[in-house]
A and B are shown apart, each in its own frame.
Chain A
């Protein structure tokens, strides 16, 4: 186990280097000069030249990459040319917002998806199973932005129960914070719940048909104990993997939901950065996201071992 973890940690640096080269290079393929985007409507040639010089946009690509990486290695991710603040500060400001949204969405997904998957598996080939499967299909098929707007029209405009958009920090008001995140968390969690349900159902069906479960029943154990104590622990392994991957995806991919609910999170930051050719922000965010994925995968591996003692060596 220790050797395995050390091996995984040793792979982090080359992975991040590869990601940095990839994101830096890919951005250059985007048409559009950042200085033109930033120079405003007037497009003053003097301003464009000033911006080229200030942000090293007139330098060759290898020089620009070297300047950026030199900063990254010293903890400086550069400055947003649009917002005029350090990228690191922006990430520290936005990441907790999306992190909280992602966590709540994952909780929604787990609370809905895992029990639904268990019940569907236990009641395999019954009306309950079919109903759960159809609900999962519904969750997968509904576009996030459409569901979000519908929920806003119902709960905010018609019923006046929840705020339509915006974000309140938990430090300012925990109650308002949860109210502002209720709908977006449900929208995001809804789609993931469907995936969780399907995976849990499949894993449970596989496990419930295995010999040791049959043995447990034969020994006279209660059905609830068989399902929750014996079957679920093994069925959870793929669900944990899925949860880790989905959380990582949520951190970077809640773009549409953040746009609809006007949540100043990570997704919105990176989309605006792409449209404005804010290279430093895109590069910094992608690097952070890569690190998050690596960390989450590592956590998933550790979680496997904790859940299933047979994986401990």
Chain B
């Protein structure tokens, strides 16, 4: 569909051939290992071609495939789904209706759950976990997500890259060494999130184990800054106005100050922050990525020379890295791909256009009457197998 946000994710597909009623053949421009992962994600969600092609309002009346079908959507109020009687695994589906209600405030979400107005909530605030845990009416489920939070450093995006942090990798290394990821996680997220230093989490099979999360080393950070001739670099750290991000920024500011960094926090509304990052109007940006199943989805578009400018806001470009990332895309097995990622990581984690900080944990809270829920790293709620007493 024209204007689809998902087209780029399967751009490797040049043609689709129908073999029979149950088989399609995807013809690719080149081998592309991340394809299956892309098809298991947003780009692979099957829609009814008849409904999609018919003139009308497909966006507001989607017809797809799955255990539930769309009933209605009232903007900012609710999305209502009802059970699809012909679903192939209908025995596993116990709820007749599911109503999604967008409630932006985490305190109000929890209050609704506690009062019985809701049966389940996602993205419980880390600071509310103990409250939910101590409530006998509720139970919890957590899992580390696919995404990450990082500091993007402007290394080559306009005039604001022309400073010690943007130009000297020793200064960037010093910044990383001044941060205690475990302490940051404890203070801001009650220890619930997963500290990390790469685009995938430490338990991911594509994590480069030879490059573990570095420990804080303020003394070495100071040495590096002295060697770089910038003992007190002044940096502006742009963050969105989400309270947890602002708290994290304050912790980073405080930690980095011990090594000699003078960080000014610039809290910016998210739309403005996106624009500023694209335009290179930043030096350091506390940014997030929701995550993809395949490591390529968490890495390529942020560090490749061919990456979209709106994602590679640091404007990092290293042909050696590109060679390894391109090779990882066409490698035929996981071990070969990992070998390429090891080489890429060695370069990327030295150059540090991004300093990866943590991987968010999905926090689900639900009525104690609900059973059978299994959390997945993509954060999606799968009703198959769920029950209510």
Contacts and interface: CB of A to CB of B under 8 A. Distances in A.
Interface string A90-115: 10010000000000000000000000
A228 B266 CA distance: 57
B290 A47 contact: no
A43 interface: yes
Interface in B83-121: 101-105, 107-108, 111-112, 114-117
A156 B311 contact: no
Contact of A46 (B7, B111, B278): B7
Interface stretch (A69-77, A116-124, A271-279): A271-279
A222 interface: no
B372 to A, nearest CB: 26
Contact of A33 (B8, B275, B301, B311): B275
A50 B3 CA distance: 6
A47 B5 contact: yes
Interface in A50-71: 50-51, 54
A31 B276 contact: yes
A153 interface: yes
A42 B115 contact: no
Among B7, B270, B271, residue most surrounded by chain A Cβ atoms (within 10 Å): B271
B257 to A, nearest CB: 29
B270 A84 contact: no
Contacts of B308: 42-45
Contact of A163 (B102, B114, B117): B117
B269 A275 contact: yes
B108 A84 contact: no
B74 interface: yes
A54 B1 CA distance: 14
A84 B3 CA distance: 13
A225 interface: no
B308 to A, nearest CB: 5
A36 B111 contact: no
Contacts of B310: 36, 39, 43, 45, 48
A123 to B, nearest CB: 39
A164 B117 contact: yes
A85 B73 CA distance: 11
Contacts of B276: 31
B8 A164 contact: no
Interface string B1-25: 0111111110000000000000000
Interface residues of B, number: 43
B108 A93 contact: no
Interface in B263-290: 269-272, 274-276, 278, 289-290
Of the four ranges (under 10, 10 to 19, 20 to 34, 35 or more), the interface on chain A belongs to: 35 or more
A268 interface: yes
B346 to A, nearest CB: 27
A107 B108 CA distance: 26
Given A31-B272, A166-B101, A262-B103, A36 B60 contact: no
A307 interface: no
A90 B309 CA distance: 34
B107 A264 contact: no
B333 interface: no
A304 interface: no
Contact of A259 (B104, B270, B309, B311): B104
A86 to B, nearest CB: 11
B77 interface: yes
A269 B102 CA distance: 13
B311 A43 contact: yes
A131 interface: no
B272 to A, nearest CB: 4
A233 to B, nearest CB: 43
Contact of B75 (A90, A149, A152): A90
Contact of B76 (A32, A42, A152, A264): A264
B30 interface: no
B55 interface: no
Given A47-B3, A84-B60, A259-B104, A36 B275 contact: yes
A269 B274 contact: no
Contacts of B74: 93, 264
Contact of A42 (B101, B278, B311): B311
B307 to A, nearest CB: 10
B8 A44 contact: yes
A298 interface: no
Contacts of A297: none
Given A32-B275, A262-B103, A164 B108 contact: yes
Given A37-B271, A163-B117, A260 B108 contact: yes
B272 A157 contact: no
A125 interface: no
B54 interface: no
B108 A157 contact: no
Contact of B111 (A37, A45, A152, A272): A152
Contacts of A46: 7-8
Among A40, A156, A276, A277, residue most surrounded by chain B Cβ atoms (within 10 Å): A156
A271 B75 CA distance: 13
B67 to A, nearest CB: 25
B380 interface: no
Nearest to A37: B271
A153 B289 contact: no
Given A156-B111, A262-B103, A269-B76, 11 more contacts: A32-B272, A36-B274, A37-B274, A42-B8, A42-B308, A47-B4, A149-B107, A149-B108, A165-B112, A166-B101, A264-B74
The 7 A-B residue pairs with the shortest CB-CB distance in the complex, in nearest-first order:
A43-B310, A32-B271, A264-B77, A156-B115, A31-B272, A50-B3, A264-B76
Interface of B: 2-9, 57, 59-60, 74-77, 101-105, 107-108, 111-112, 114-117, 269-272, 274-276, 278, 289-290, 301, 308-311
Interface of A: 30-33, 36-37, 39-48, 50-51, 54, 80, 83-85, 90, 93, 149, 152-153, 156-157, 160, 163-167, 259-262, 264, 268-269, 272, 275-277
23 contacts: A30-B272, A31-B272, A32-B271, A32-B272, A32-B275, A33-B275, A39-B310, A43-B310, A45-B310, A46-B7, A47-B3, A54-B3, A84-B60, A90-B75, A153-B111, A164-B112, A165-B108, A165-B117, A260-B108, A264-B74, A268-B76, A275-B269, A275-B270
